[in-house]
Chains A and B, each alone.
Chain A
Amino acid sequence: MLVLERRGESSTAIAIASPLLAIALTLATIAVLFALLGKNPLQALAVYFLDPLTDSYALQEMAVKATPLVLIGVGLSFCYLANVWNIGAEGQFLIGALSGGWLAVATHGTGAGPWVLPAMLVLGAVGGALYALIPAICKVRFGASEILVSLMLVYVADLLLDYLVRGPWRDPQGYNFPTTAEFDPVALLPAMIEGSRLHYGALIAVVVVIVATVVLGRTIRGFEIRLVGAASKAARFSGFDADRLVVTTFVISGVLAGLAGVIEIAGPVGHLQPAFSPGYGFTAIIVAFLGRLHPVGILFAALFLALTFIGGEGAQITLKVPLDLTKVFQGLLLFYVLACDSLVLYRIRLVMPQRRTADGIA
């Protein structure tokens, strides 16, 4: 049987190797799955993971898709490091998009000036933060599980988006499609390279990664977050208030998720419609763990998961495999990441049960 032995000192080498091992194990499992679906596993993996890397359009698309994942993932890492379980980032993402999108809809066709986009970004961040405050306050004031409350709010945000784009915000010239009008240019993020889809949101994401790395690694606030998560009683002894930190970390992740939402609609999407998010808020949970809750790790993890989105779309077209395979892939990846993380804390040993007789007399 398997026996876990606690390591005296956490292993740094394994801490870096474990996400890579997890990716390798996931690829192996996916290969088996492809074989079961009747595809050539190697060819299928190539379509999934190599083809997107060979073409510059797909590479840009990867950065576009990684942008919301980085923003949300970094925000979630603040929560998870502090042992605060915000799993409703998808809801905060949608509300951020709605808050910013409201301004784009309201100023549509009014010839408003270039203040619109910055104001949208601020509104998105504030909207996401306020929505994240709901589970935080339910937790701190009433002791309600932040896990369940934040998750329930995802469904509510989804329905609200659905209502708005089918009802009051629907484009009158939209042939009854549930969508808002295309945003005016002043409500859109400019492209970083002329004619490409890569927009300035990607730059914002990189800045967020740098700031988060400094805050978490170098400042007393970062220490507070890590300490509350690692040993709450010791944190209290250190003079930190865990309740306040629940609110702070929820607000940080709400701001970043909301920002990601408004960047998504002001960037690649350009309007509001139901289900405009392929579940970035949930995928970002995987990103956060695959990146080992470290901002730089999260940057790489987000690029990798963006690759799975693009590869999944490619595979759907060329291999005729269902798009849900991407979700399976992502779920498996999280499993393997968590399992491999166990190696950082424990040594795993195979132990043979001792020989014995029924009454214990050997």
Chain B
Amino acid sequence: MGLLESIVLAVLAASTPLLLAAAGELVAERAGVLNLGVEGMMIVGAACGFAAAWLTGSIVIGALAGIAAGTALAGVFALLTLGLAVNQVATGLALTILGVGLSGLIGAGFVGERIAGAPHLYIPGLTDIPFLGRILFGEDPFVYLSLAIVVGIWWFLYRTRAGLELRAIGDNPASAHALGLPVLRKRALAVLFGGACAGLGGAYLPLAYTPFWISGMTAGRGWIALALVVFASWQPGRLVAGAYLFGAVTILQLHAQGAGVGIPSQFMSSLPYLATILVLVVISRTRGRAGAAAPASLGTVFVPDR
């Protein structure tokens, strides 16, 4: 395998958890809900995913467990922010703090265990095509699933009635309510979807990326996913570009560390975080202070009168 090929494959794998989590968050934010708990949902998804996979020996069950865990935490978030009209920023933080603690509790019994990671696809003929074959047909299935989810989200948002309703709710929940759209129910569904995606993105880490559990293994990916949604201007297409860009930064700094370029490893490790800040500054600046692309009601509480 050539160096370039292996780098591309590694970038695809490194980007996938970001893309999954960011895709889910994008849907929630299009409905007007800012869930800062992505990191918490991812890490619990990772812990539950690994635990389930280790206990059952099945990657699929592991992935489903990750999805279930992320969804459950998102349900708590929805109950507070939508049911009790609690501030979304504070609740998202609470979700992350709780998630980090829960993951440690769940994963405590599995430290040091290993599983066989998710198998890579092999389609005779196609996967054997030089270079492109491995990239297009030879990664693990989650890589392709994440792309399918993004395409599905695009189709849903711009080609279906339900997607139009979701965008309308994100634009103006009061108007949507006046028209009789079930604002809170739709927002709750969007949040749950976001949780499912974050849980899956988290589970990807111990199931496919590094087939073992370590405490705190999401390492801020949930926060980077949040930044990616801003980077993408809430458009699914740009999300893919953003996720792969960040995946590339991660892999390049790892390769640079491996190659021993003489820069302390801690500086290389901080690159993804510094890149996130840089991207946020550049994107926010070019869009102007108004942030016209953000859903108009993002982060605001809506309480219908009855």
List residues of A whose CB falls within 8 A of some B CB.
2-4, 6, 85, 87, 134, 138, 141-145, 147-149, 151-153, 155-156, 159-160, 162-163, 167, 282, 285-286, 289, 322-332, 334-335, 338-339, 341-342, 345-346, 348, 351
A-B contacts, 7 of them at CB < 8 A, read: A148-B276, A151-B220, A152-B227, A159-B266, A330-B101, A335-B76, A346-B303
A327 near B94: Cβ-Cβ < 8 Å: no
B-chain residues with CB within 8 Å of residue A134 when the two chains form the complex? 277
A338 near B101: Cβ-Cβ < 8 Å: no
Q: How far is the CB of B162 from chain A (nearest CB, A)?
A: 22
The answer, yes or no, to whether B291 is at the interface (CB within 8 Å) is yes
The answer, yes or no, to whether B99 is at the interface (CB within 8 Å) is yes
Residues from 101 to 120 in B contacting A, C-beta threshold 8 Å: 101-105, 108
B97 near A334: Cβ-Cβ < 8 Å: yes
A-chain residues with CB within 8 Å of residue B291 when the two chains form the complex? 143
C-alpha gap A274/B104 in the complex (Å): 19
B104 near A335: Cβ-Cβ < 8 Å: no
- The dominant DSSP class at the B interface is helix
C-alpha gap A269/B61 in the complex (Å): 45
C-alpha gap A144/B291 in the complex (Å): 10
A85 near B89: Cβ-Cβ < 8 Å: yes
The answer, yes or no, to whether B270 is at the interface (CB within 8 Å) is yes
C-alpha gap A33/B72 in the complex (Å): 17
B-chain residues with CB within 8 Å of residue A153 when the two chains form the complex? 273, 277
* CB-CB nearest in chain A for B269: A159
Apart from the given pairs A143-B291, A145-B280, 6 other A-B contacts in the complex at a CB distance below 8 Å: A143-B284, A152-B274, A152-B277, A153-B273, A159-B266, A342-B85
B104 near A324: Cβ-Cβ < 8 Å: yes
B86 near A328: Cβ-Cβ < 8 Å: no
Sorting the interface of chain B by its residue count into under 10, 10 to 19, 20 to 34 or 35 or more gives 35 or more
A4 near B284: Cβ-Cβ < 8 Å: no
The answer, yes or no, to whether B204 is at the interface (CB within 8 Å) is no
List residues of B whose CB falls within 8 A of some A CB.
36, 40, 76, 80, 83-87, 89-91, 93-95, 97-105, 108, 215, 219-220, 223, 226-227, 230, 264, 266-267, 269-270, 273-274, 276-277, 280-285, 287-289, 291, 303, 306
Contacts A144-B284, A162-B266, A342-B84 hold; do A327 and B277 have CB atoms under 8 A apart? Answer: no
C-alpha gap A6/B305 in the complex (Å): 9
Q: Select one of B98, B266, B273, B288 contacting A163, CB under 8 A.
A: B266
Contacts A147-B36, A156-B273, A162-B266 hold; do A335 and B80 have CB atoms under 8 A apart? Answer: yes
Q: Select one of B90, B105, B270, B285 contacting A142, CB under 8 A.
A: B285
A-chain residues with CB within 8 Å of residue B287 when the two chains form the complex? 143
B-chain residues with CB within 8 Å of residue A143 when the two chains form the complex? 284-285, 287-289, 291
A339 near B267: Cβ-Cβ < 8 Å: no
Q: How far is the CB of B260 from chain A (nearest CB, A)?
A: 15
Q: Select one of A148, A155, A156 contacting B227, CB under 8 A.
A: A148
A-chain residues with CB within 8 Å of residue B280 when the two chains form the complex? 138, 142, 144-145, 148-149
B269 near A327: Cβ-Cβ < 8 Å: no
A328 near B101: Cβ-Cβ < 8 Å: yes
Q: How far is the CB of A283 from chain B (nearest CB, A)?
A: 8
B306 near A341: Cβ-Cβ < 8 Å: no
C-alpha gap A148/B264 in the complex (Å): 25
B91 near A338: Cβ-Cβ < 8 Å: yes
B-chain residues with CB within 8 Å of residue A6 when the two chains form the complex? 303
Q: How far is the CB of B25 from chain A (nearest CB, A)?
A: 12
Q: How far is the CB of B70 from chain A (nearest CB, A)?
A: 16
Contacts A2-B83, A148-B280 hold; do A326 and B303 have CB atoms under 8 A apart? Answer: no
A331 near B94: Cβ-Cβ < 8 Å: yes
* CB-CB nearest in chain B for A33: B105
B86 near A334: Cβ-Cβ < 8 Å: no
C-alpha gap A159/B85 in the complex (Å): 37
B269 near A87: Cβ-Cβ < 8 Å: no
Contacts A144-B281, A147-B36 hold; do A335 and B303 have CB atoms under 8 A apart? Answer: no
C-alpha gap A323/B276 in the complex (Å): 31
Q: Select one of B100, B220, B281, B283 contacting A327, CB under 8 A.
A: B100
Q: How far is the CB of B80 from chain A (nearest CB, A)?
A: 6
Q: Select one of A148, A155, A334, A346 contacting B85, CB under 8 A.
A: A346
C-alpha gap A167/B284 in the complex (Å): 36
A163 near B281: Cβ-Cβ < 8 Å: no
Q: Select one of B86, B95, B230 contacting A145, CB under 8 A.
A: B230
B223 near A4: Cβ-Cβ < 8 Å: no
A331 near B284: Cβ-Cβ < 8 Å: no
C-alpha gap A87/B22 in the complex (Å): 20
B-chain residues with CB within 8 Å of residue A162 when the two chains form the complex? 266
